[in-house]
């Protein structure tokens, strides 16, 4: 029987995979791998499905990672927190705060699991997963053994990692991550929206960021979405200067040591006239144009068409091409928009 994915993708799209397995312990990998070997079909691993868009039914095997558990250790200078891949990452942040382990609070309320965090190198408000990663534990399918990939070997970048490289798709299944969090806590208040929090504690920062995210981002249980759909594009400093001279104040952030500027994709989309866009049952969120949404009952094609329209409008107006942050899967595997 086809495996329905509607409850396993936060867009809420009614699509199927050829087969599916909910992995709650390592023994279940054996059944899944036998099916993969017997059928020769492609496979993908999902956590909560909060960073994916299915454009149609997937002719492959989906593994839903539900491995759970925490391990805590420490030395004189650091806390070490190991999370099984199926743990909700925001819940892990709250657990750390309750134990007096501070530092992760700027990553508050980012949807998804611990296992998905290194793939996209999730980040927000001046912090990234890579800032705290010690290693990623993987099941290496080439030798069917557990191994650890140190953070420095994960090739972390802006919304990318070694796990997104084409040659590594189907090679690793992330089973756990270990975080290395300094005991000497220093608040990260570099974003303007965090003004006024000088002297605040980590929990206060977590709550402020949670409130901001709730005010801007739709609850996927109510309005289907996968968070920020596009990456913030980067341009060189000369382009940025000319851009500002033409359009006035433009939100941009200089990237350290690269002489480039990261532009706010949401601003570009809004100025291209796509904020609150509605095309059939899909469109963009009226409070944050960077969010492509399923208003209810959207087909995969409606969501794809809305995203393509946004990208085209921004390209036509500004000459800047937006790159999806969301991972997109078609019938036979990962694909473009």
Total length of the chain? 337
Measure the CA dihedral 43/218/113/28, to 10°: -50
State the number of CA atoms in the 13 A half-sphere of 282 facing the CB. 21
CA-derived radius of gyration, the chain:
20
Q: Which residue has the tokens 């006239």?
A: 273
The DSSP line for 14-29 is: --EEEEEEEESSTHHH
d(CA 118, CA 7): 23
User: 159 an active-site residue?
Assistant: yes
Catalytic residue among 50, 127, 137, 159: 159
Catalytic residue among 228, 289, 302, 311: 228
Catalytic residue among 137, 178, 325, 327: 325
The DSSP line for 74-122 is: E-SSEEEEEEETTSBHHHHHHHHHHTT--S-GGGTT--SBTTTHHHHT-
- For the annotated catalytic residues, the residue numbers are 159, 228, 325
């Amino acid at each position: 029987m086809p495996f329905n994915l509607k409850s396993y993708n936060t867009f809420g799209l009614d699509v199927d995979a050829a087969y599916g397995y909910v992995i709650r312990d390592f023994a279940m990998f054996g059944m899944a791998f036998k099916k993969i070997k017997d059928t020769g079909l492609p496979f993908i691993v999902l956590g909560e499905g909060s960073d994916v868009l299915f454009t149609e039914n997937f002719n492959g095997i989906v593994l839903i990672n539900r491995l759970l558990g925490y391990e805590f250790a420490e030395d004189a200078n650091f806390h070490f927190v190991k999370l099984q891949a199926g743990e909700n990452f925001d819940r892990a942040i709250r657990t750390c705060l309750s134990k007096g382990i501070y530092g992760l609070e700027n990553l508050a309320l980012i949807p998804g699991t611990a296992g998905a965090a290194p793939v996209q190198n999730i980040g927000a408000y001046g912090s990234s997963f890579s800032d705290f990663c010690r290693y990623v534990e993987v099941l290496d399918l080439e030798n069917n053994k557990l191994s650890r990939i140190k953070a420095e070997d994960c090739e972390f970048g802006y919304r990318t990692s070694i796990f997104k490289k084409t040659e590594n798709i189907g090679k690793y299944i992330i089973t756990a991550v270990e975080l290395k969090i300094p005991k000497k806590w220093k608040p990260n208040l570099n974003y303007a929206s965090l003004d006024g929090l000088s002297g605040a504690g980590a929990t206060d920062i977590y709550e402020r960021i949670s409130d901001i995210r709730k005010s801007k981002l739709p609850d996927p249980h109510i309005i289907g979405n996968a968070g920020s759909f596009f990456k913030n594009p980067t341009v060189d400093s000369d382009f940025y200067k000319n851009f500002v001279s033409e359009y006035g104040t433009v939100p941009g952030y200089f990237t350290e040591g690269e002489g480039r500027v990261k532009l706010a994709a949401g601003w570009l989309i809004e100025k291209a006239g796509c904020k609150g866009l509605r095309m059939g049952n899909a469109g963009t969120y009226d409070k944050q144009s960077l969010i492509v949404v399923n208003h209810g009952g959207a087909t995969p094609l409606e969501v794809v068409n809305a995203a393509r329209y946004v990208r085209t409008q921004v390209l036509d107006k500004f000459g800047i091409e937006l790159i999806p942050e969301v991972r997109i899967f078609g019938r036979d595997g990962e694909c473009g928009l």
